[in-house]
Amino acid sequence: MSTALIIGVSSQDGSYLADLLVDKGYEVIGTIRRSTNFYQENIRHLIGKIRVEAADLTDSESMARLVRYYQPHEVYNLAAQSVPADSWSHPYYTGEVTGLGVVRILDAVRLHAPNARFYQATSREIFGGTCGVATENTPVDANNPYGIAKAYAHMMTKCYRESYGLFACSGILFNHESPRRSLHFVTRKITAAVACLKNGIEKPPLDELGNPLIDAGKIKLGWLESQRDWGYAPEYVEAMWRMLQNEQPKDYIIGTRISHTVADVCRIAFEHVGLDWRRHVETDKKLLRPTEIEVLVGDYGLAEQELGWQPRTSFEQLIRLMVDADLERFRS
Ligand code: NAP
Catalytic residue (one of 70, 76, 119, 146): 146
Which candidate, 44, 13, 79, places its Cα nearest to that of 329?
44
Span 18-56, pLDDT tens digits: 999 999 999 999 999 987 776 789 999 999 999 999 999
For residues 221 and 172, state if they share a domain.
Answer: no
- C-beta neighbour count of 278 within 10 angstroms: 11
pLDDT of residue 286: 87
121 lines ligand 1 (CB under 6 A): yes
Q: Which domain range does residue 308 map to?
A: 186-227+259-329
pLDDT per position as a tens digit, 205-236: 998 888 899 999 999 999 999 999 999 999 99
Q: What pLDDT sits at residue 40? A: 85
Q: Which residues of 284-309 are buried (b: 16+ CB within 10 A; e: fewer)?
A: eeebeeeebbeebbbbbebbeeebeb
- Mean pLDDT value across the chain: 96
> What pLDDT is stored for residue 207 in this prediction?
86
Over residues 55-68, the pLDDT tens digits come to 999 999 999 999 99
**Are 155 and 269 within one domain?**
no
Q: Is 123 a catalytic residue?
A: yes
Number of helices (H), then strands (E), in the chain: 10, 15
Distance 10 CA to ligand 1 centre (A): 8
* Domain co-membership, 173 together with 190: no
d(CA 135, CA 133): 7
Is 243 a residue whose pLDDT tops 80? yes
Ligand 1 atom with minimal separation from the 97 CA: 18
- State in Å: Cα 226 to ligand 1 middle: 22
Amino acid at 264: D
The verdict on residue 33 lying in a domain is yes
- Residue 125 lies inside a defined structural domain of this protein: yes
Kindly report the number of other CB atoms within 10 A of residue 48's CB atom: 6
In a domain, residue 68? The reply is: yes
Q: Using CA positions, which residue lies closest to atom 28 of ligand 1?
A: 78
d(CA 253, CA 300): 5
325 and 194 within one domain: yes
Residue 55 CA: nearest ligand 1 atom is 20
- The closest alpha carbon to 305, from 226, 250, 234, 268, belongs to 250
171 and 294: one domain?
no
What pLDDT does residue 190 have?
98
The answer to whether residue 146 is catalytic is yes
DSSP letter string, 212-252:
BSSBTTBEEES-TT-EE--EEHHHHHHHHHHHHHSSS---E
Q: Considering the chain, what percentage of its residues have pLDDT values greater than 70?
A: 99
Does some domain include residue 238?
no
Q: Among the three residues 158, 177, 196, which one is the final residue of a domain in this structure?
A: 177
In this structure, are residues 261 and 183 in contact, taking their beta carbons and an 8 Å threshold?
no
Q: How far apart are CA 324 and CA 320, in angstroms?
A: 6
Q: What is the pLDDT of residue 287?
A: 87
133 and 51 belong to one structural domain: yes
Q: Is 74 labeled as catalytic in the residue annotation?
A: no
Q: Give the Å distances, CA to CA, from 291 to 64, 84, 223, 287.
A: 37, 11, 11, 12
Q: Does ligand 1 lie within 6 Å of residue 79's CB atom?
A: yes
As a whole number of angstroms, the distance between CA 318 and CA 166 comes to: 36
* Residue 232, in any domain of the structure: no
Strand spans (E) along 176-221: 176-177, 219-221
In this structure, are 190 and 61 located in the same domain? no
In a domain, 152, yes or no: yes
- Indicate if ligand 1 lies below 6 Å from the C-beta of 103: no
- Cβ count within 10 A of residue 332: 6
Specify whether 280 is located in the same domain as 310: yes
pLDDT at 209: 81
Distance 79 CA to ligand 1 centre (A): 4
Q: Do 131 and 13 share a domain, yes or no? A: yes
pLDDT in tens, 78-102: 999 999 999 999 999 999 999 999 9
Which residue out of 16, 78, 81 has the highest number of ligand 1 atoms within 8 Å of its CB and is therefore the one to mutate?
A: 78
The CATH number assigned to the domain holding 204 equals: 3.90.25.10
Number of separate domains in the chain? 2
Considering the domain boundaries, does residue 244 fall inside one? no
At a CB cut-off of 8 Å and minimum separation 6, what does 225 contact?
261, 262, 263
Whether 139 and 214 map to the same domain: the answer is: no
pLDDT in tens, 108-152: 999 999 999 999 999 999 999 999 999 999 999 999 999 999 999
Residue 254 lies in a domain: no
Question: What confidence score (pLDDT) does residue 210 get?
Answer: 87
Identify which has the larger pLDDT, 51 or 202: 51
Residue of 7, 11, 17 to mutate, ligand 1, most atoms within 8 A of C-beta: 11
